[in-house]
Amino acid sequence: MAFTEQPLYSIAPGFNASESQRINIAGYDPGVQGGGAFLDVHSYGTYSPGTILVRGDQSVSFSGFPSVQWVSSWMDYANGRWAMDTFCGGGYSGNVTCWLTTDTPNEILKFNAVLRLPILASTQQYIPGNQHRGDGHRFYDTARC
Each residue of 82-130: pLDDT tens digit? 989 999 999 999 999 988 877 877 788 888 989 888 776 666 554 444 4
Q: Per the domain annotation, does 104 fall within a domain?
A: yes
2 assigned to some structural domain: no
Per the domain annotation, does 3 fall within a domain?
no
User: Which phi and psi (to 5°) does residue 108 adopt?
Assistant: -105, 125
Q: How far apart are CA 76 and CA 33, in angstroms?
A: 10
Distance CA 74, CA 57 (A): 44
Read off the pTM: 0.73
Residue 80 placed within a domain:
yes
Domain range enclosing 132: 10-144
The number of residues in the chain equals 145
How many domains is the chain partitioned into structurally?
1
Whether residue 131 lies inside any domain: the answer is yes
Nearest-angstrom CA–CA distance, 87 and 101 = 20
pLDDT-above-90 percentage for the chain: 26
Task: Let me know if residue 99 belongs to a domain.
Answer: yes
Residue 94 amino acid letter = G
Asked if residue 5 is part of any domain, the answer here is no
- With a cut of 50, say whether residue 5 has pLDDT above it: no
30 is a domain residue: yes
